Structure 1
Amino acid sequence: METTVPLAAAQINTGDTAWLLAATALVLLMTPGLALFYGGMVRTKSVLNMLMMSFVSIALVTVVWLAAGYSLAFGDDIGGGLIGGLKHAGMAGLGPDSVHGSVPTVLFATFQLTFAIITAALISGAIADRAKFSAWLVFVPVWTLLVYVPVAHWVWGPGGWILDRLGALDFAGGMPVEIASGASGLALALVLGPRLGFKKDAMRPHNLPMVMLGAGLLWFGWFGFNAGSALGANGLAAAAFLNTLAAGCTGLLGWLFVEQKRDGHPTTLGAASGAVAGLVAITPSCGTVSLLGALVVGLAAGVVCSYAVSWKFRLNYDDSLDVVGVHLVGGVIGTLLIGVFAEKAMTGGTEGLLYGGGLAQLGKQAVGVVVVAAYAFAVTYGIGRLLDKAIGFRAAEEHEHTGLDLTVHAETAYDHGVLGHGAPVSASVVPSVRKAESQA
């Protein structure tokens, strides 16, 4: 019997689709990896709260993205390169016959959703130990719609002004993901103010093996993040894959070199942070630079970010888990260096300064960096201030002393060392803890 193949099915490339399915799963895994990475970096009394801030972001962003986020980010432009329309609100019109390139549109939308999820979750590291969970539940969907969605449209959406009008390049998310999350993290850190005991008390990571495990999962997932952005099982995906591995390695080595020279000790936290810094920086450039460029990008990020994380002590802003020092700074480095190391063989035409392209592309990259950072910072600061006045964004001082795990979630990560530094448990907390224990 002869079977008729629908036209859409004929247009879909099964190899590309299979790779993007895998890449989507890899990127989603990055958010639990981030949860472990952040969870290990905080003190014992706030571990579960950090895990929850990442995991709840998966649910919140997914709902917002399916309702309107995807349509506004990747729908046809209706605002002069600034925003898409609501034609696909509720994923309308994205049935089995809808194709994006060589993959089903619904798969492309899901892949992009995983980017939005981890971007929102990244911000939580800047406000660790002191943010009200209820305020976070409100902040995430509002921020996704007002910050991430417009920037994603500018950079990747049809008719987006950064892509189509400015001509700046961003392969996998230097501006919408890294710079937007870093600038937003700085804004929220300023809104909430420093943690109790900032610059006075030791606030060391409580579980470095957990940090290393989280970093490993992030690195694993990053191959889907970067190579998946080729949207196909092809040579560009392979090049982005190798560039991602190379930059992570040189980022790790660069950070350890600085630690050894400056402090006399290469640390596990430094190795994890350096690898992440290199991966952050190569994100925008993995599909535009050669292997040599990737090695330099990663090394530059590892060295510069290792110094940048100490800026918070000089400038007196408490970026708890170094979202600014790693993601903002690393994202800026990787985005700008496209203007230096971009190669025609990768970009299909655009060349950077090192390959005879002049300063034009570097200038375009700089404009994109400044505008995205300024927009994300300003809007996030406004959202944070409004939420702080309306419902309060900073956790109560008593809760912060005791720990957010116990006071917010009525749970503890460990049976010993739960309260940290001998902090007293308030009378109001005890009944809820006993109730939780009786139900266990």
Structure 2
Amino acid sequence: MTVLEVNSGDTAWILTSAALVLLMTPGLALFYGGMVRAKTVLNMMMMSFGALCLIAVTWVLYGYSIAFGNDVGGGLLGNPFEYLGLHGLMADTGDSLPVMAFVGFQAVFAIITVALISGAIADRAKFGTWMIFALIWSTIVYFPVAHWVFDFTVTDDAGKVLHAGGWIANSLKAVDFAGGTAVHINAGAAGLALALVLGKRIGWRRDPMRPHNLPLVMLGAGLLWFGWFGFNAGSALQAGNSAAVVWVNTLTATGAAALGWLLVERIRDKHATSLGAASGVVAGLVAITPSCSAVSPIGAILLGAIAGVLCALAVGLKYKLGFDDSLDVVGVHLVGGLWGTIAVGFFATKAAPAQVAGLFYGGGFDQLWRQVVGAVSVLVFSFVLTYVIATILNKTIGFRVSEDTERSGVDEIEHAESAYDLANLGGGLRAFSTGPAPSRPPEDDNSGSSKSHDQEVTA
């Protein structure tokens, strides 16, 4: 293998992309935080920030080694001791990119994946147990799956294997450019398992559970869209044509998905909502993630539009099937990730950087079956292990808060804080008033929102 001189332009692009992806986790905190009720917004946001802090440490200690160490288990596991504490990597430049730049870029993928799961259990989870779950889940689920999907085998010019990678990337040869399987299907399946173990919220399907702050939701979606250009285009690992194609496909698929979601709302509910626009944006971003290097811009539009329609319809499945996925992690990330991954088998064109052909472009079923096997394998692996982990935690230290805590609000009990100090606001108003003191505002966690996330999908 020829060792190349470090390319400063590529290095700058990867470090910038890593920073963009890091911003996605606070963006997700805003997106999720706005969708819950006012009494649980801090707990919801803390689960994202907790994941950010925790995985930033575990990735350095052993996570990177499990994901990108030399394979020791038939494509299933990297050597957890090879790069323990990133030993030996500070001076290693690899090819044209410093290894530490790649380490940082992949770290933020691990962080956002764990944070995504939390939306499925909003309003009812103990923060301490969530952090323990995040530690265990990332170790035995995410890090190995990242090895399957993102760790490519490296050979020298004579074909000798210098580094053995994961089975999905190298043996199955399924296309997953930026994490439709490792990130979205993985998180979506985990979210479904957690929702089943923790059970339904008190008052689910009976009480209105409206988003308490829709501007926060839209701000969060905007930050996610912004950061996602680093997520997808950064996965090209160089500032070249592939990154440019991926950037354009990410933009156009996301716009098409939002339009598709809004069209479903307009036909079904007679209103196109801000919550629908934000959710459609995320659905499009999820769907284009695995396929952004394999489709044309026209293919990206079709893929995104279908994703918006599918996910808008899928979020209602929880009512038919009876599981309380609070913020539609299953409907958006699992369904969107499945569609985006499998769609490569239909829409991939050899004119795109990945240079594979799907069914609609003369490739037959060869790529399609590979995509299906990769997607289903990650789904089953993540769901089963997550269900086991969550059940053990719930039966030992307890995962769900008490009924009294859930009714009064997780923020007050778990964090001794509230997002909005209305009492002090009222006192300030009285200090400047010459008339009678205004009456205390009603105890309504749902004020400030015209329509609930749950209500929106039940037409």
Give the C-alpha shift of residue 419 in structure 1. Answer: 6.0
Other structure's SS at 2:211 match:
coil
Query: Judging changes above 3 Å, is the alpha-carbon distance between structure 1 residues 78 and 419 closer, same or farther for their aligned structure 2 residues?
Result: farther
* 2:50 alignment partner AA: V
Are 1:223 and 2:245 counterparts?
A: no
Per-residue CA deviations over 1:178-213 (Å, capped at 9, x if unaligned) read: 000000000000000000000100001000000000
Is the Cα–Cα contact under 8 Å of residues 247 and 296 in structure 1 kept in the other structure?
A: yes
Per the alignment, residue 326 of structure 2 pairs with 320
Deviation at 1:420, TM superposition (A): 4.0
Cα deviation, 1:92-112, whole Å, max 9, x if unaligned, reads 11022x124421101101100
The answer for the alignment partner of 2:274 in structure 1 is 268
| TM-score, normalised relative to structure 2 | 0.88
Q: Which amino acid aligns with 1:237?
A: A
Unaligned runs of 5+ in 2: 153-164, 423-440, 447-459
Give how far 1:418 is off.
9.6
Structure 1 residue 55 corresponds to structure 2 residue 49: yes
> What's the CA shift for 1:123?
0.4
Hey, what's the Cα distance between the residues in 2 that align with 1:418 and 1:24? 44
Alignment equivalent of 2:88, drawn from 69, 88, 93 = 93
Q: Verify the 8 A CA contact 1:45 1:418 in the aligned structure 2.
A: no
TM-score normalized by structure 1? 0.92
Note if contact 2:293-2:354 (Cα within 8 Å) is conserved in structure 1: no
Could you tell me which amino acid in structure 2 is paired with residue 256 of structure 1?
L
- Whether the aligned pair in 2 keeps the contact of 1:339 and 1:351 (CA below 8 Å) is yes
Q: Distance in 1 between matches of 2:230 and 2:324?
A: 31
Within a 5 Å distance, the mapping from 1:35-434 to structure 2 comes to 35-85=29-79, 86-96=81-91, 98-158=92-152, 159-416=165-422, 420=444
User: Does the C-alpha gap of structure 1 residues 101 and 172 become closer, same or farther in structure 2, counting only changes over 3 Å?
Assistant: farther
Residue by residue over 1:89-139, the C-alpha shift from the partner in whole angstroms, topping out at 9 and shown as x without a partner, is 11011022x124421101101100000000000000000000111100100
After superposition, the Cα gap between the structure-2 partners of 1:228 and 1:78, relative to the gap in structure 1 and judged at 3 Å, is same
Matched to 1:136, the amino acid is: W
Deviations 1:342-363 (A, max 9, x none): 1112245421111100011101
Q: In 1, distance between residues paired with 2:268 and 2:385? A: 37
Structure 1 pair 421–279 and aligned structure 2 pair: CA distance change class (3 A): closer
Distance 1:407 1:99, change over 3 A: same
Which residue is 2:16 aligned to?
Answer: 22
Q: Which amino acid aligns with 1:88?
A: Y
What secondary structure sits across from 2:351 in the alignment?
helix
Question: Does the aligned pair in 2 maintain the 1:42–1:204 contact within 8 Å?
Answer: yes
- Give CA deviations for 1:209-250 in whole Å, capped at 9, x if unaligned: 000000000000000000000001000000100100001100
Distance 2:23 2:6 in 1: 25
In 2, Cα distance between equivalents of 1:397 and 1:326:
28
Q: Shift of the alpha carbon at 1:294?
A: 0.7
Letter in 2 for 1:90: G
For residues 35 and 72 of structure 1, the distance between their equivalents in structure 2, rounded to whole angstroms, comes to 27
Query: Hey, what's the Cα distance between the residues in 2 that align with 1:276 and 1:355?
Result: 27
The number of residues matched between the two structures is 414
Q: Mean alpha-carbon deviation: is it higher for 412-421 or for 353-362?
A: 412-421
Q: Distance in 2 between matches of 1:226 and 1:305?
A: 20
- Amino acid of the structure 2 residue aligned with 1:94: L
The 1:279–1:421 alpha-carbon spacing in structure 2 relative to 1, beyond 3 Å, is closer
Query: What is the root-mean-square deviation in Å for CA atoms of aligned residues?
Result: 1.4
Show CA shifts across 1:327-370 (max 9, x none): 00000000000011111122454211111000111011001111
* Distance across 2 between alignment mates of 1:375 and 1:281: 20
Distance in 1, matches of 2:279 and 2:354, equals 33
Distance in 1 (alpha carbons) for counterparts of 2:73 and 2:124 = 38
Change in Cα spacing, 1:100 to 1:195, as seen in structure 2 (3 Å) is farther
Structure 1 counterpart of 2:29, one-letter code: A
CA distance in 2, matches of 1:40, 1:196: 20
Structure 1 pair 418/338, CA: closer, same or farther in 2 (3 Å)?
A: farther
Q: Is the 8 A contact 1:171 1:283 kept in 2?
A: yes
Residues 349-396 of structure 1 show CA distances to partners (whole Å, capped at 9, x for unaligned) of 421111100011101100111110000000000000011111000111
Percent identity of paired positions between Structure 1 and Structure 2: 59
1:32 aligns with 2:26: yes
SS in 1 for 2:363: coil
- Residues 117 and 306 of structure 1: CA distance in aligned 2, closer, same or farther (over 3 Å): same
Matched residues in 1 for 2:169 and 2:413: separation? 46
